[in-house]
Amino acid sequence: MKEPVLLEVRNLKVYFRNDEGLELRAVDGVSFTVPPGKTVALVGESGCGKSVTALAILRLVEANGRIAGGEVLFEGKNLLALSEREMQRVRGKEIAIIFQEPSAALNPVYTVGEQIVEAILLHQSVSREKARALAEEMLHLVGIPEPRKRLNEYPHELSGGMKQRAMIAMALSCRPKLLIADEPTTSLDVTIQAQILELLRELQRQIGMAILLITHDLGIVADMADEVVVMYAGKVVERGTKYDIFKRCRHPYTLGLLRSVPRLDVDENALASIPGFVPDPLHFPEGCRFRGRCFLEDETCATEPPEVALGDGHVVYCHHAALSEVCHGER
Amino acid sequence: MGNGEVLLRVENLKKYFPLRAGVFKKVVGWIRAVDGVSFEVFSGETLGIVGESGCGKSTLGMTILRLLEPTEGRIFFAGQDITRLPPAKLRPIRKDMQMIFQDPFSSLNPRMTIQAILEEGLRVHRVVPRDAMQKEVEMLLERVGLSRDYVRRFPHEFSGGQRQRISIARAIALRPRLVIADEALSSLDVSVRAQVLNLLQELKREYSLTYLFISHDLAVVRQISHRILVMYLGKVVELAPKEAFFARPLHPYSVALISAVPIPDPGVRKVRIILSGDVPSPLHPPSGCRFHTRCPRAQEICAMTEPPLLEVEPGHFVACHFPGSLTLEGTSG
């Protein structure tokens, strides 16, 4: 059975150079797919390369970085091979992105309306009046009260939650097939977060777009995702359906991560935690990058871990994938 | 758990910030960050204070430590009224009350070595004799899980989790009785957050500490607290033992807050109560019950009369005209 694929990231590598000229392998051979209309979550802790991966899909890597290899296939065509002109037609039209900090993504000197209209005019051949009507419709769609009035307001006049809604309105104004949402609710309060997540779910139903959700919050993953890609230190360590990851994960890091999250519905005397800390990209260990923190580690881990397919798209990169099965059990 | 002795008592505490505008910086209004808060903290317990941004929880913590001067109300620490104590008399009490901040990047002086950072308080308060200082600093570092070889290093050489451990070492160095932790784990990654949370629990037992644990993260608060206090727009809306609070929260805001936290388990299905609108500004808080503009159970009276904080079950306080009317099952009670 072959699933339809909207986006396929194949062996993507993004390297940066720091001030001393040393190379940081921030994203180092990442592969995953996003089916149309589904939500795929890219999870991991800070520095794991999840945001860099998201930006690289749109070829928005910062000047001190470069895409060092791999392919990004969107509906079969390799975005990395497109000219900058062709790429501009993809950004915003086919693939849109929203960020953690809406105040950083909205231009403070233009009204919300002007910014959405600009996005619409860039990609659709409609009149300015029609674009304005579309913008108003989008603001209404994302649940902003009094959309006509809001069009004439500046970003600073909106609350954090409203700004995030405005950014979503702008991102979706051209009905993209894929929305990349990079920590879309991290800066928001939990009751506002609930509103935004519900909005994304609702809009996905209406517009039918796929979502690539970048987050560190496993609660949001369980809530939103169909499929999950777990990243650690620039590599994918495990991917599978939401149930594969939460109920039968096989990578020791995934397991450690799940066990170290305090849960609102369970009392625990002491949380399990992963020893040590996330390595910085200059000092990623050779072989398996989880070395030094793993309870299954032995000398074989000094070599690159193999890709172990467990069926139905559940894949783990670990020398001890067979062993880790026994580590599960009720928390 | 608490032994029944009250370590900290806060009575009708208020902290208003002036809002100034114009050329002459005339006061045009007051931001009522903390607006009449009363509660007690028992010796040996952990009281978790939760609420969303702008609810006044951080201001409350700073005001209790007198890092901000209270506008009104009284603060008692170990039976002594410290509300208007002059700085010289406050200093010995400060030793007993320490704070851990959210951002370990800005709360450690980048020009000081770890040795100097940890020594500073010990010296000011003359906790250990000069010749025992070195040993004490090394002991503290090891106690928070860092190598004693780190004493000569500077803060920038450490990761966020390690810096937070240093902040914790500094806080416990003076053997305080009360530690106020303000979003102390919020900047840490998941795997490291669990380590530091466990460390805080161990230290509490070892040093018989009392914690005031301020956080927006209900799941973390649940792990560490004995009792939970919920704030909304400068007011206490609910205060209850942890078990009662999570089993049967009585204030509609508490219910919405709990239901909004996503559970990291796709097998768990729960009713989602989604509040409409944003938190109103503390500059112009709504009339009556401050939550009435967003409350799914609000009636006419809620906009008119402010509900008092009442004890509806032993130890369970709630400020609501219709406590228990919204439940986690979403039905009306």
pLDDT digits (tens, 9 = 90+) for B250-262: 999 999 999 999 9
| CA distances to A157, B143, B207, B256, B280 from B222, in Å | 35, 25, 21, 16, 26
Please state at what angle helix A252-260 crosses helix B190-207, rounded to 10 degrees: 50
Q: How many CB atoms lie within 10 A of CB A63?
A: 7
Is B137 a residue whose pLDDT tops 70?
Answer: yes
pLDDT averaged over every residue in chain B: 92
Do B260 and A161 make contact, defined as CB atoms within 8 angstroms?
Answer: no
Residue A277: list chain B partners with CB under 8 A: 159, 161-162, 191-192
Structure confidence at residue A1 (pLDDT): 52
Q: Which residue in chain A has the smallest CA separation from B261?
A: A190
Nearest CA in chain B to A47: B189
Q: What is d(CA A146, CA A144) in angstroms, rounded to the nearest whole number?
A: 7
Residue A51: what pLDDT?
Answer: 93
Partner A contacted by B185 (CB < 8 A): no
State how beta strands B46-50 and B72-77 pair.
Answer: unpaired
Quick one: average pLDDT of B189-216? 92
- What average pLDDT does range B97-110 have in this prediction? 87
How many C-beta atoms lie closer than 10 Å to residue A167's C-beta?
Answer: 27
How are beta strands A23-34 and A227-232 bridged, if at all? unpaired
Mean pLDDT of B201-230: 95
Quote the CA–CA distance of A102 and A113 in Å, as a whole number: 15
Residue-wise over B12-23: b if at least 16 C-beta within 10 A, else e? ebbbbbeeeeee
pLDDT bucket at B328, cuts 50 / 70 / 90: confident
| pLDDT score recorded for residue B3 | 59
Spell out which residues of chain A touch residue B52, defining contact as CB-CB under 8 Å: 189-192
Query: How do the pLDDT tens digits run along chain A, 331 residues long?
Result: 567 899 999 999 999 998 888 889 999 999 999 999 999 999 998 889 999 999 999 999 988 899 999 999 999 999 999 999 999 999 989 999 998 888 778 899 999 999 999 999 988 899 999 999 999 999 988 888 889 999 999 999 888 888 989 999 999 998 999 999 999 998 888 988 999 999 999 999 999 999 999 999 999 999 999 999 999 999 999 999 999 999 999 999 999 999 989 888 887 767 888 888 888 888 889 999 999 999 899 999 999 999 999 988 999 999 998 776 645 544 4
- The DSSP letter of residue B128 is S
- Residue A331 is predicted with a pLDDT of 41
ipTM over 0.90: no
Residues of B with Cβ-Cβ distance to A270 under 8 angstroms: 198, 201
Instruction: Among A31-45, B205-219, B260-274, name the one with the lowest average pLDDT.
Output: B260-274
pLDDT value, residue B331 = 47
User: Cα distance from B91 to chain A (closest Cα, Å)?
Assistant: 35
Q: Whose structure tokens read 């002007």?
A: A114
Burial A66-103 (b: 16+ CB within 10 A, else e): ebbebbbbbeeeebbebeeeeeeebbbbbbbbbbbebe
Q: What local confidence, expressed as pLDDT, does residue B333 receive?
A: 38
3-state SS, residue B11: strand
HEC per residue, chain A: CCCCCCEEEEEEEEEEECCCCCEEEEEEEEEEEECCCCEEEEECCCCCCHHHHHHHHCCCCCCCEEEEEEEEEECCEEHHHCCHHHHHHHECCCEEEECCCHHHHCCCCCCHHHHHHHHHHHHCCCCHHHHHHHHHHHHHHCCCCCHHHHHCCCHHHCCHHHHHHHHHHHHHCCCCCEEEEECCCCCCCHHHHHHHHHHHHHHHHHHCCEEEEEECCHHHHHHHCCEEEEEECCEEEEEEEHHHHHHHCCCHHHHHHHHHCCCCCCCCCCCCCCCCCCCCHHHCCCCCCCCCCCCCCCHHHHCCCCEEECCCCCEEECCCHHHHHHHCCCC
Question: Does pLDDT of B109 surpass 60?
Answer: yes
Is B21's pLDDT higher than 50? yes
d(CA A167, CA A171): 6
Per cent of chain B over pLDDT 70 is 98
Residue B274 has pLDDT above 90, yes or no: no
Q: Compute the average pLDDT of residues B310-329.
A: 94
Instruction: Give the separation between CA A319 and CA A322, rounded to whole angstroms.
Output: 8
Q: Which residues are A308's β-sheet partners?
A: A316
Question: Does the distance separating the beta carbons of A278 and B189 come in below 8 Å?
Answer: yes
Two tokens, residue B118: 């940890």
Please report the residues numbered 153 through 182 in chain A whose beta carbons come closer than 8 angstroms to any beta carbon of chain B. Answer: 159-162
Joined together, the tokens standing for residue A58 give 């749109």
Task: Note whether B192 contacts A: Cβ–Cβ < 8 A.
Answer: yes
Select from B278, B259, B70 the least CA-distant residue to B286. Answer: B278
Is residue B199 scored above 50 in pLDDT? yes
Verify whether the Cβ–Cβ distance B278 to A270 is below 8 Å.
no
The answer to whether A37 and A227 are in contact (CB under 8 A) is: no
Minimum distance, in Å, between the CA of residue A15 and any CA atom of chain B:
22
Cβ <8 Å between B198 and A195: no
Q: Which helix (H) or strand (E) holds B304?
A: helix B300-304
Residue with token string 């994203």: A27
